[in-house]
Chains A and B, each alone.
Chain A
Amino acid sequence: DVKVTQSSRYLVKRTGEKVFLECVQDMDHENMFWYRQDPGLGLRLIYFSYDVKMKEKGDIPEGYSVSREKKERFSLILESASTNQTSMYLCASSLSGMNTEAFFGQGTRLTVV
């Protein structure tokens, strides 16, 4: 089975802190994604990566950056956390090809206080 593992289920951080969310997949997938999930808004794409060191902005990249130094690992970075970044963050991975499904991690619920 494909496994996508997010390093934390719950995180509480203070405003202004630099926050790292880590995601690891074990199926050699080319694509990796970070989404943000908020009630009533569905999933919104923050960033995605289609290869090591390659990244593209999604629909809501402001306030976030990403890093993909190894194929299996994709990190989301909040440079200076703010309360409006309190949310559920979901990582996903998929094979290249648009007809392939994405596999999701369990999610990280981040609270910024």
Chain B
Amino acid sequence: AQSVTQLGSHVSVSEGALVLLRCNYSSSVPPYLFWYVQYPNQGLQLLLKYTTGATLVKGINGFEAEFKKSETSFHLTKPSAHMSDAAEYFCAVNPRVGNNRLAFGKGNQVVVIP
């Protein structure tokens, strides 16, 4: 079964500083990769995804992520944090074979400090 690792359940970042959220997956065959964001009292919303092609993927709200096969990673970054980025972020993977079962990491709660 796929597993997804997100380290650090709570991440504090100063307004204007770099946001870096790490995601690693365990699979010999690279899966499809997704980042979702959840604002308070809302469902999840897609930030970006990697399926094929360019390994640097740009998403909404200035976020981007880079797929690195050699490191089995799909880290999420944003150059300059904004107060509105305070939310919970989830990395998710879907295997390229087998059942369509999206597996999620445990999430990172991002706090932006003014």
Contact = CB atoms under 8 A, between A and B. Distances in A.
* Overall SS of chain B's interface: loop
Contact of B32 (A56, A99, A104): A99
Nearest to B107: A42
Nearest to B6: A42
A4 B101 CA distance: 18
A110 to B, nearest CB: 15
Nearest to A97: B100
Interface residues of A, number: 28
Contact of B46 (A35, A41, A101, A105): A101
Contacts of B36: 104
Nearest to B50: A99
A62 B49 CA distance: 31
Interface string A54-85: 00101000000000000000000000000000
Interface in A85-112: 90, 92, 94, 96-99, 101-107
A15 B36 CA distance: 33
Contacts of A35: 104
B43 A101 contact: no
Given A45-B101, A48-B101, A50-B100, A40 B43 contact: no
B43 A105 contact: yes
Given A99-B32, A101-B49, A43 B90 contact: yes
Identify which of A31, A44, A98, A104 gathers the most chain B CB atoms within 10 Å of its CB. A98
Contact of A42 (B41, B90, B101): B90
Interface residues of B, number: 28
B103 to A, nearest CB: 7
A33 interface: yes
A84 B52 CA distance: 40
A102 B43 CA distance: 11
Given A31-B100, A42-B104, A106-B43, A98 B95 contact: yes
A33 B102 contact: yes
Interface string B48-90: 0101100000000000000000000000000000000000001
Interface of B: 6, 9, 31-32, 34, 36, 41-46, 49, 51-52, 90, 94-96, 99-107
